[in-house]
Amino acid sequence: MSLSNILLRLIKPNPRLLYTNTSCSCFLKNLMIISSPIRYSRLPHISNNKPSLLKYSKLLSIRTYVEDSKNKIIKSYQDDKSFSYFDQFRFLKHLTSTPAPPLFFGLAGLIPFVSVPVYMYSTGIYLPELVYAQLAYSSVIISYLGGIRWGANLYPQNSEETTINTTSILWKQYFWSILPSIAAWTALVLPGRLSLICALVSLQAFCMVDIMIPGYPLWFKSQRIFLTTVASLTIVATLILSFILHKRDRSKEKTKHVV
């Protein structure tokens, strides 16, 4: 069996590289490009000698590398296609690969979220001033997330996006960039608990949008999900305390009035 037939059985190369006048080393290097599974009748003649065991093992290693690379590409592509709410949490496995600076500042940014319900629960007093401070901080964070998307649109990572449907892509991307600011302003003008609910829904909705839109690294998506989940839980805790602590204060006022 000739070397060309062995190559045909082991790998399926890119058809554009089959009939090029390249050396054997360059040809084998080009075979590492992932291409569609198409069968070909012949391959360019490389050598008439039978391949030795060493050459055969090298070809097997090339095939293994190609298959591993293909699986990694398919897996990364599937990770970007998360559309359900609970599917987003599988990105948390990439949280350990987050660089130290964004991880530190992201965790530090949770302090204003966590401190408000913790303080009100520990003191047993509902403070509307603290709740509004948490709401204002939530609005700032929501607007900041829109700024991240705006900045990402300035440097598109995929060159095809700049040549195929450029106008429609830009309109869509920049539209998603300004929506967080509008939602943040809406949360500030809504009365009572509706403002907290609007901030909560905005955080969750725009987190899902960032997960589905390609372009962000996996560690950013994992950090985004973790920080959004913690911030949302603190807002839910504040909403629950707004009912519990109000009832507790009113009961105290009634007992004092009776006495």
- Spatial distance between the Cα atoms of 156 and 128, rounded to a whole number of angstroms: 43
Give the mean pLDDT of the chain.
Answer: 72
Distance CA 241, CA 124 (A): 9
Q: Supply the pLDDT for residue 199.
A: 94
The last residue of one of the domains, among 61, 78, 95, is 78
Q: How many CB atoms lie within 10 A of CB 129?
A: 7
| Residue 5: per-residue pLDDT | 55
**Do 70 and 190 belong to one domain?**
no
Shared domain for 72 and 99, answered yes or no, is no
The answer for residues whose C-beta is within 8 angstroms of residue 99's C-beta and 6 or more apart is: 219
- Crossing angle between the packed helical segments 128-154 and 193-212, to the nearest 10 degrees: 20
pTM for the predicted model, two decimal places: 0.59
- Same-domain pairing of 121 and 139: yes
Shared domain check, 25 and 110: no
For residues 162 and 201, membership in a common domain is answered with yes
Q: Could you tell me if 133 and 181 lie in one domain?
A: yes
pLDDT tens string 144-179: 988 888 877 777 655 444 444 577 777 877 888 889
Residues counted in the chain? 259
127 in the same domain as 24 = no
Q: Which of 20, 53, 78 is the C-terminal boundary of a domain?
A: 78
Specify the pLDDT at position 110.
93
Residue type, 175: F
Same domain, 173 and 48: no
DSSP secondary structure string, 118-145? HHHHHHT---HHHHHHHHHHHHHHHHHH
- Can you tell me the distance from the alpha carbon of 46 to that of 53, in angstroms, rounded to the nearest whole number? 17
Range of the domain at 46: 3-78
The low-confidence residues of the chain, meaning pLDDT below 50, are 7-8, 10-50, 77, 80-82, 159-164, 249-250, 255-259
Our count of domains for the chain comes to: 2
pLDDT of residue 42: 41
Residues 66 and 98 in one domain: no
Q: Which of 20, 50, 78 is the last residue of a domain?
A: 78
Query: Do residues 137 and 55 both lie within one domain?
Result: no
**pLDDT value for 255:** 47
Same structural domain, 136 and 235: yes
**What pLDDT, on a 0 to 100 scale, did the predictor assign at position 59?**
64
Same structural domain for residues 23 and 114?
no
